[in-house]
Chains A and B, each alone.
Chain A
Amino acid sequence: MSAYETSGDYIKHHLTNLTFGHTEQHGWGIAHGAEDLAEMGFWSINLDSMGFSIGLGVLFLWFFRKIGKAATADAPSGWQNFVEMLFEFIDESVRGSFSGRNSLIAPLSLTIFVWVFLMNFMDLLAVDHIPFLASLIGIPYLKIVPSTDPNITFGLSLSVFILVLYYSFKFKGAGGFFAELAFHPFPKFMMPINLLLEGVTLIAKPISLALRLFGNMYAGEMIFILIALMYSGGWALGLFGEVLQLGWAIFHILIITLQAFIFMTLTIVYLDMASQESH
């Protein structure tokens, strides 16, 4: 903290991704500052978000695969209990919200729930520690919570949206899908208005899905950063900040779980709506 000139710098620094891209001045490399970012444009990549999200996903799949391979029909013990509980929970949620039978939905839901939860969980790690360690080995920026990066949340929600479109075409056919968009909620002669309304509804799905998760996590991270700022304001303020930090972290445990659950449930609901024959 003391390395920053103003608290504005501190906040800005904590909200900047480690972006890799191409600039005229430096060629391929890490972006330093907003100008670099603007010049890199779309064809650059946030190394920290990608790295942490892939790392957490691999961790999740590796761990669950390990448990799954060792799983027996006998009395479960230890981690198998935990994993089975999660499986039953997901399976029940899918059964409750998805009316058809589809072998993709449950694994999809499991992946979303656990992965999003793990990405959100990074928020509970103290905001300064890992970026500080990274700065020691020369990494200038590091945002450790992938779900505070809109690229990550939109990446998820757009994939879900593609699945929604795929299922809509598969189960309703192109005609049926169009009819659903065009002949509803008003009679057929008001087709343009119908298309506009239903089109907005359709597009709103992935956007709201991504923005809800992003907004919650970004705001949560922001509050952690603001609380962390108090540690530089003397011992009384620091102590107060410590209490706030603890309270917010405990509350945040609820939020990160809830957000992961909401993302999963909405995905199931959207796919259920897409794969229903008639509206």
Chain B
Amino acid sequence: MNFNATLIGQSITFLIFVWFCMKYVWPPLMTALEQRKAKIADGLAAAERGQKDLKLAQSKVSDNLKESKQQAQEIITQAQKRAHEIVDEAKEAARDEAEKIKASASSDIEQQINSAREHLRKEVSSIALAGAEQILKREVNAEAHGKVLDELMAQI
């Protein structure tokens, strides 16, 4: 073992290398590592958040589904009710219409009866007049006996 200036040279080289390593080699890689660590942590947190969100959304969806089912049920009941109402209304209207038709029909009948009755009355009075003519064998002055004839007609 003989020592020489290599000792000093090596010491100086060593210090320079350590300085260079500290200044230019260690920091960039360490920063990259730290950044990756942060990134991974962020990613994991995001994944967890996503899962939580998913769960929330799922419960929301099921809630919505339940609500809409209920709404649909309500709508159906309402519709059914409405349908019943419409049917009832229609029935009522039909009944009214029928009543009206019946009424008009009966008034028609009445009228026809009246007119028939008038007609008959006229017929009867004319027959009675002819009968009376024949009985009296003479002309009956219609004008002179009009009053009597009218009274007769009213009596029939």
Interface residue ranges, A against B (CB under 8 Å):
19, 21, 37-38, 40-46, 49-50, 53-54, 57, 61, 64-65, 67-69, 71-74, 76, 83-84, 87-88, 91, 103-104, 106-108, 110-111, 115, 149-152, 154-156, 158-159
Q: Are A42 and B4 in contact (CB under 8 A)?
A: yes
Interface residue ranges, B against A (CB under 8 Å):
1-11, 13-15, 17-18, 20-22, 24-30, 32-33, 35-36, 38-39
Q: Are B3 and A107 in contact (CB under 8 A)?
A: no
Q: How far is the CB of A98 from chain B (nearest CB, A)?
A: 15
Given A154-B7, A155-B11; A115-B26 close (CB under 8 Å): no
Q: Are A87 and B30 in contact (CB under 8 A)?
A: yes
Whole-angstrom CA separation of A159 from B35 in the bound complex: 33
Give the residue among A57, A103, A155 with the most B Cβ atoms within 10 A.
Answer: A155
B33 surroundings in chain A (CB, below 8 A) = 84, 87-88
Whole-angstrom CA separation of A154 from B124 in the bound complex: 165
Partner among B5, B17, B36 whose Cβ is within 8 Å of the Cβ of A115 = B17
B2 surroundings in chain A (CB, below 8 A) = 37-38
Q: Are A42 and B10 in contact (CB under 8 A)?
A: no
A-B contact pairs, 19 of them (CB 8 A): A21-B4, A37-B2, A41-B4, A42-B4, A43-B4, A45-B9, A49-B10, A50-B6, A64-B21, A64-B29, A91-B30, A106-B30, A115-B17, A154-B10, A155-B6, A155-B7, A156-B10, A156-B11, A159-B15
Closest residue of B by beta carbon distance from A103 = B22
Closest residue of A by beta carbon distance from B23 = A107
Q: Are B29 and A151 in contact (CB under 8 A)?
A: no
Q: How far is the CB of A198 from chain B (nearest CB, A)?
A: 25
A87 surroundings in chain B (CB, below 8 A) = 26, 29-30, 33
A38 surroundings in chain B (CB, below 8 A) = 2
Partner among A44, A57, A76 whose Cβ is within 8 Å of the Cβ of B13 = A57
A149 surroundings in chain B (CB, below 8 A) = 6
Q: Are A54 and B13 in contact (CB under 8 A)?
A: yes
Q: Are B17 and A73 in contact (CB under 8 A)?
A: no
Q: Are B14 and A155 in contact (CB under 8 A)?
A: yes
A67 surroundings in chain B (CB, below 8 A) = 29
Q: How far is the CB of A92 from chain B (nearest CB, A)?
A: 12
Partner among B5, B18, B36 whose Cβ is within 8 Å of the Cβ of A108 = B18
B24 surroundings in chain A (CB, below 8 A) = 61, 65, 68
Given A45-B9, A61-B25; A73-B14 close (CB under 8 Å): no
Q: Are B20 and A151 in contact (CB under 8 A)?
A: no
B5 surroundings in chain A (CB, below 8 A) = 42-45
Given A50-B6, A73-B35; A68-B14 close (CB under 8 Å): no
Closest residue of B by beta carbon distance from A108 = B18
List the 7 closest A-B pairs by CB distance, nearest first: A155-B10, A73-B35, A151-B6, A107-B22, A71-B32, A68-B28, A107-B26
Q: Are B22 and A44 in contact (CB under 8 A)?
A: no
B11 surroundings in chain A (CB, below 8 A) = 155-156, 158-159
Extra 13 A-B pairs, beta carbons < 8 Å, given A73-B35, A154-B7: A19-B4, A44-B5, A45-B9, A46-B4, A49-B6, A68-B28, A74-B36, A76-B36, A87-B30, A108-B18, A111-B17, A151-B7, A155-B10
